[in-house]
Amino acid sequence: MLITQKLGNIYTESITGSEIDAVNVEWHETNKRILHKFSNSGIQVTLKFLRESPDLKDGDILWRGENKIIVVEIIPCECIVITPRSLLEASGICYEIGNRHQPLFYEQNELLVAYEVPLHNLLQASGYELKVEKRKLKNAFKTTVLPDLSLTGIYSLISKIP
C-alpha cells in the first residue's frame, strides 16, 4: 500500500466504528520522506512524502477504509527526562543538549531527549535533576531557521539582518 499524504489525526477527528491498525514508527523516523513498514496486522505500507518532510505525529491517519484505518503509532523509547527548576536551568539544559546537536522534546513542563550514556553522565554531573523513563518522543522543538525565506515572501528575523 502506497501512502503519499496524511488524512488527519485520530485525536482530532471522529473514528467511531473503525478498527485501528497501527504502523509502529520510531521517533527518529518521523521525518523520513520514504519509509517501508508493516502494520500490526501485517499490511505492507510504503510512505512516500517527496515534496516535504512528513512530520509524522502519533495518531496520524495514513489510510481510511470503510471499517478500518491505519494510523501512526510512535514507539516509546528510553529517554532522559529533565524537569527544570528555573528558566536559567532550562536554558543551561537546552544549551548542553543543543551543543551536541541532539533533538530536544517538550512535554508538560519536562524536557526529553533520547537516552545516551555520555549525555546522561554530563547532565547528572552538572547537577540537573533527571530520570530515565520509556516515553514517546512526540513534540520536538522546531529550531531550524531558513535564511532564504524572503524569496517566498515570508520574512524572518534572519532575513532582516543586512
> What are the start-end ranges of the E strands in 58-119?
61-64, 68-74, 77-82, 105-107, 110-114
88 lies in the same domain as 140: yes
**How many domains in the chain?**
2
The confidence band for 139, taking pLDDT boundaries of 50, 70 and 90, is confident
Q: What is the mean pLDDT of residues 132-147?
A: 75
pTM across the whole model:
0.76
Q: What is the mean pLDDT of residues 41-50?
A: 92
* Cα first-last separation, the chain: 49
Of 51, 74, 97, the residue at which a domain comes to its end is: 74
109 lies in the same domain as 45: no
